[in-house]
Amino acid sequence: MKRLLTHTTMIVASVLFLDCRSIGLPLSAAAQGSSNGQPFQALQAEIAQIQQTLEAAPENATVSFGAWQTTPPYDRFPPNTPTDRNRDDHVVVPNDAIIKAGGTVNFVISGFHQPIVYDVGTKPQDIDVNNTTQTTGVTPSPKVDLINDSTDRIYRGQDPSLQPLDRSGTAFLQDRVEVVRFLHPGTYLVICGVKNHFQGSTMPPNPQPPMFGFVTVK
Ligand SMILES: [Cu+2]
C-alpha cells in the first residue's frame, strides 16, 4: 500500500512538474506537505528524480550516415539507377549523437559509405589519410581508397563494395544498418572510411563537405 501511495505521489508530482505553468502549487500548500502526509522535501526529491530521468541521455540513437537527395526529385524505382552516387548527400545526422554509457548507435547507411569509430580524444586532423587500403569487391572499378588508420580505431564497418547485388546483378545495394555499442563515457569521432568522402569534395556535379561526426556517451 505504501508503495502504491508513493507511486501515486510520483504521478501527481509528475503532472504538477510537467504542467506547472497551468496548475501552479500554492506556497502555503507546499509548506504544509503533500496530501498523503509526506514532507515537502521528500516530494521535491521525487520531482528532482523525475526531472533527472527525463533529462537522461537515451539508451540509443539513430544516426543517418549518408542520405539520398530529394531536390531535384530523385526516383530510385526501376529502371532508374537505384544507387546514383551523384544523388547522395554525405551527411552524418545528428552530427553529435548523445547516448548513455552501455548504449548503442544505429548507423543507418544510405549510399556508398563506411562508418569508422575512433576512441575518445581523436580529432579529425589526427586521421592519417595517406594510410589507405582499397575496396575488395568486383565493383566499383577502379577500386576506391578506404582509410586504413588503425590508431585508436575501435570499430571499422563493412567494406561497402561487398554489399549484395540487386536482382539485376549489376547495382550493389547501399542501404544497410550497423549497430555499434559504446561502454565508456566520452566523445568519439566517427568518420566515413571512403577517403574522398572524409576529405570532402568541391567537384561538380555533387560537391560534398567532409564526412564525419561525433558520438557523445554520458
Ligand atoms: Cu561516405
> What's the pLDDT tens digit per position in 7-65?
444 444 443 444 443 333 444 444 445 556 567 888 888 888 877 766 789 999 999 99
Q: What per-residue confidence (pLDDT) applies to 36?
A: 61
**How much distance in Å is there from the Cα of 43 to the middle of ligand 1?**
50
**How much distance in Å is there from the Cα of 110 to the middle of ligand 1?**
9
Q: What per-residue confidence (pLDDT) applies to 54?
A: 62
Q: What per-residue confidence (pLDDT) applies to 16?
A: 40
Question: Whole-angstrom Cα distance, residue 203 to residue 27?
Answer: 65
C-alpha dihedral, 124 to 70 to 174 to 141, nearest 10°: -80
The distance from CA 3 to its chain's CA centroid, rounded to whole angstroms, is 38
Within the chain, what is the greatest distance between any pair of CA atoms?
A: 78
Q: What per-residue confidence (pLDDT) applies to 38?
A: 66
Of 189, 60, 57, the residue nearest 120 (C-alpha): 189
**How much distance in Å is there from the Cα of 45 to the middle of ligand 1?**
47
Name the one residue in this structure whose C-alpha cell is 549518408.
Answer: 66
**How much distance in Å is there from the Cα of 101 to the middle of ligand 1?**
26
Q: What per-residue confidence (pLDDT) applies to 25?
A: 41
Mention every residue, 6+ apart, whose C-beta is less than 8 A from residue 1. none
**How much distance in Å is there from the Cα of 169 to the middle of ligand 1?**
23
Residues of the chain with pLDDT under 50: 1-32
Q: What per-residue confidence (pLDDT) applies to 164?
A: 82
**How much distance in Å is there from the Cα of 78 to the middle of ligand 1?**
24
- Burial (0-12, 13-18, 19+ Cβ within 10 Å), 6: middle
**How much distance in Å is there from the Cα of 103 to the middle of ligand 1?**
24
| 203 touches 86 (CB < 8 A) | no
Q: What per-residue confidence (pLDDT) applies to 1?
A: 39
**How much distance in Å is there from the Cα of 153 to the middle of ligand 1?**
17
**How much distance in Å is there from the Cα of 54 to the middle of ligand 1?**
34
Q: What per-residue confidence (pLDDT) applies to 46?
A: 84
Q: What per-residue confidence (pLDDT) applies to 27?
A: 41
**How much distance in Å is there from the Cα of 52 to the middle of ligand 1?**
37
**How much distance in Å is there from the Cα of 200 to the middle of ligand 1?**
9
